[in-house]
Amino acid sequence: MLDKTKFGWWKSAVFYQIYPKSFQDSDGDGLGDIPGIVRRLDYLQKLGVDGIWLSPVFASPQADNGYDISDYRAIWPPYGTMEDMETLIREAKRRGISIIMDLVLNHTSDEHPWFRQALKGRDNPFHDYYVWRDGSPDCPPNDMRACFGGSAWEYVPELGQYYFHQFAVKQPDLNWDDPKVRRELYDMIRFWVEKGVEGFRLDVIDQVAKEPDRMITARGPKLHGYIRELSREAFPEPGLVTVGEAWSADTEEAKRWSAPDGSELSMVFQFEHMTLDQRGEKWDAVPLNLPALKRCYERWQRELHGVGWNSLFLSNHDLPRVVSRWGDDGKYRVESAKCLAAMVHGMEGTPYIFQGEEIGMTNVPMELDGYEDLETVNMIAERRERGYSDADILASARARSRDNARTPMQWDDSDNAGFTSGTPWFGVNGNYKEINVEAALRDPDSVFWFYRRLIGLRKTYPVFREGSFELLLPEDEDIFAYIRRAEGEQLLVVCNLSGRERAFQVPAEFERGERLLGNYPDGGPVLRPWETRTVYLRDGK
Ligand code: GLC
């Protein structure tokens, strides 16, 4: 068991992300809920994870599925009550699983009482909680754009002012320059720590120190000062795990975020590796260039080693399903899901598994009018206006929409995949009869049991946590292979990320190594389609 009171325990841990709306319904209203999660804790314990990153469960009008909070100290009623949340924290802890809440500190909902007050007048004590600029209806302060499309400024005629929103109109940005705002947030965090929450994922935390007059959103000059204050005031316990979502981070930034002295956060959650297969906007997908991906990983592995800490992931609620994106969700679905998992879980960092990834869930083919997510819906409208054909738009949405990750969890082959006895809020992927948890648990060769073994390896062999990183075959367009070295131990991870057979010469020293894991029966010098092998060597043996 990990000692979770100690700084750094997360370096041996694996986390699992739950998107509550789509995980497990317990009362038939078609929405996942907290009692549903409690019911599935034994399953997560079987998988072997140490913590749950719980996407927001706070009171919210759900304009952005909970990333628009109207009360940080209340649970959204369809998800359950505060008692349900306390039960979840307690029951999870009993199974060695920490609850990590998702804190949206950059913005609130426009239905948050602070914002309602702020709208009442420039003299209202809450007015300064948000970012306002004077203007006239047809002349916003500048032409900054919101992440979900449209202007980043929304006019409020009664005030003759605009408020700033980096995301949706219903997500006004908080003004971190106001010390009262920061104090409110720290007090709220302590409320949850006292309830037994053991960590926090900090949504778009690199964007809190915005300076719209200088067109700055991420990485504002005051950012690290704010983060250090947050860490001191809200996270004094060395065992609290804090994960900073930072789309803008490069390795230099990441070292500051995750410095081993604990002055900022435990780790960074950055996306450089997930942006290499697009041309400009994320909707313009291009095939993955494997050498570029390998260079990216090598840089992050090398530069953070010993001086920072990264997250390892290929999937979350904002990304399409990786087996469809980089794997083969047809013939080699199982092999490629395992291959991609071994590729990331062998590296240094803390792995995150997004619900359904552990059974190889895939993207969902939908029609344009089926999309729910506001980012996708806005993209469809914007691109139609700009003259894109519906066929083009559909191809982008099918490849990249966040909705791909948000279909209900596939538990079994009964109606609605065992997710709900009612009508699901969002359609179940049609392949649930084949791809579901029950089937995966029955099959010893399933993706699930492969993940279970990967998690076990990280706990057994220190080299997973501590090893240095050496990339092999940097220019190879199919094979991703690397060696990790720690005191007395070496690890070789080989992944053939293609549907072709490929010859591979195992480095001589590993010929006498112990095979820890693979997705085919032991083989010779040829890697089969999407084959992966993990080989271990203890010095002197
Ligand atoms: C983060 C979340 C995403 C959300 C956005 C605005 O990127 O992961 O789901 O829409 O922030 O809060």
204 Cα–ligand 1 center, Å = 7
Mean pLDDT of all residues belonging to the chain: 97
| Res 523: pLDDT | 82
Give the nearest ligand 1 atom to 107 CA: 12
Look up residue 131 and give its DSSP letter.
Answer: -
Find the mean pLDDT for residues 161-190: 98
Q: Mutate which of 72, 203, 210 to test ligand 1's pocket (most atoms within 8 Å of Cβ)?
A: 203
40 is a domain residue: no
pLDDT (average), residues 72-93: 98
What mean pLDDT comes out for the span 163-178?
Answer: 98
- Residue 126 resides in a domain: yes
Does pLDDT of 148 surpass 80?
A: yes
Answer whether residue 539 shows pLDDT above 90: no
Number of other CB atoms surrounding residue 516 within 10 Å: 20
List the residue whose alpha carbon is closest to atom 5 of ligand 1.
Answer: 67
Q: How many Å lie between the centroid of ligand 1 and the Cα of residue 250?
A: 19
Rounded to an integer, the average pLDDT of 111-122 is 98
Mean per-residue pLDDT, 336-359: 98
The pLDDT value given to residue 62: 98
How sure is the predictor about 421, in pLDDT bands with cuts at 50, 70 and 90? very high
Calculate how far, in angstroms, residue 317's C-alpha sits from the geometric centre of ligand 1. Answer: 9
Query: What's phi and psi for 205, nearest 5 deg?
Result: -70, -20
Cα gap 259→261, rounded to integer Å? 5
| 235 inside domain | no
Number of H helices, E strands in the chain: 15, 20
Mean pLDDT of 487-506: 97
Tokens 């895939």 label which residue? 362
Q: What is the mean pLDDT of residues 106-132?
A: 98
Residue-wise pLDDT for 224-275, tens only, equals: 999 999 999 999 999 999 999 999 999 999 999 999 999 999 999 999 999 9
Protein residue whose Cα sits closest to atom 12 of ligand 1: 67
Task: Please give the average per-residue pLDDT across 378-392, as a whole number.
Answer: 97
pLDDT for residue 527 is more than 90: yes
* Whether pLDDT at 540 is above 80: no
Q: Which of the listed residues 131, 147, 164 is the one where a domain comes to its end? A: 164
For residue 211, give both structure tokens: 């300076």
Q: What would the mean pLDDT of 335-340 be, rounded to a whole number?
A: 98
User: Active-site residues: which are they?
Assistant: 203, 245
Residues 325, 357: Cα–Cα separation, whole Å: 12
Cα–ligand 1 centroid distance for 242 (angstroms): 17
How would you classify the pairing of strands 267-269 and 199-202?
Answer: unpaired
251 three-class SS: helix
pLDDT for 313 equals 98
Q: Residue 1: what pLDDT? A: 79
Beta carbons of 436 and 360 less than 8 angstroms apart:
no
Work out the average pLDDT over 64-73. Answer: 98
- Mean pLDDT value of segment 282-311: 97
Nearest ligand 1 atom to alpha carbon 316: 8
| pTM for the whole structure | 0.98
List the structure tokens of 7.
Answer: 């700084």
Residues with CB under 6 A from ligand 1: 64, 67, 104, 167, 203-204, 245, 317-318
Atom of ligand 1 nearest to the CA of 67: 12
User: Which of 106, 110, 166, 204 has most ligand 1 atoms within 8 Å of CB, for mutation?
Assistant: 204
97 contacts 43 by C-beta, under 8 angstroms: no
Annotate 364-376 with b (16+ C-beta within 10 A) or e (fewer): bebeeeebbbbbb
Token pair in block for residue 188: 């709220």
Q: Which residues of 42-53 are buried (b: 16+ CB within 10 A; e: fewer)?
A: eebeebbbbbbb
Distance separating alpha carbons of residues 43 and 358, to the nearest angstrom: 11
What integer is the mean pLDDT of 333-343?
98
Cα(192)–Cα(499) distance, integer angstroms = 47
Q: In what order do the strands lie in the sheet with 132-134?
A: 132-134, 161-164, 153-156
Distance 240 CA to ligand 1 centre (A): 22
Distance CA 514, CA 328 (A): 28
- pLDDT score recorded for residue 442: 98
Please choose, from the candidates 71, 79, 59, 92, the residue with its C-alpha nearest in 3D space to the C-alpha of residue 195. Answer: 92
CB 148 within 8 A of CB 375: yes
Q: How many domains in the chain?
A: 2
For residue 268, is it within any domain?
no
Lookup result for tokens 């090598």: 298
Q: Whose CA is nearest to atom 7 of ligand 1?
A: 204
Residue 526 included in any domain: yes
Q: How far is the CA of 182 from the centre of ligand 1 (A)?
A: 20
Total residues found in the chain within this entry: 541
pLDDT of 541 above 60: no
Q: Is residue 532 part of a domain?
A: yes
**Domain holding 473: CATH number?**
2.60.40.1180
CA of 69 to the centre of ligand 1 (A): 12
User: Rounded to the nearest whole angstrom, what is the distance from the C-alpha of residue 21 to the centroid of ligand 1?
Assistant: 15
Give the CATH number of the domain where residue 125 resides: 3.90.400.10
**What is the reported pLDDT for 524?**
87
Q: Which atom of ligand 1 is nearest to the CA of 402?
A: 9
Considering the chain, what percentage of its residues have pLDDT values greater than 70?
100
What distance in Å separates the CA atoms of residue 486 and residue 102, rounded to the nearest whole number?
34
Q: What is the pLDDT of residue 509?
A: 93
Pocket test for ligand 1, best of 60, 65, 67 (most atoms within 8 A of CB): 67
Farthest CA pair distance, the chain: 77
pLDDT at 6 over 80: yes
Q: Whose CA is nearest to atom 4 of ligand 1?
A: 67
Domain assignment of residue 511, yes or no? yes
Best residue among 19, 21, 57, 64 to mutate for probing ligand 1, ranked by most atoms within 8 Å of CB: 64
Ligand 1 atom with the smallest distance to the CA of 317 is 9
Q: Which atom of ligand 1 is nearest to the CA of 168?
A: 6
Least confident of 49-58, 308-317, 516-525: 516-525
Neighbouring residues of 400: CB distance < 8 A, sequence distance ≥ 6: 278, 282, 283, 285, 320
Ligand 1: atom nearest CA of 318 is 9
Give, using CA atoms, the residue closest to atom 2 of ligand 1: 203
In a domain, residue 186? The reply is no
Whole-number Å distance, alpha carbon 308 to ligand 1 midpoint, is 24
Among 123, 138, 164, where does a domain finish? Answer: 164
Residue 481: which domain range? 465-538
Give the per-residue pLDDT at 522.
86
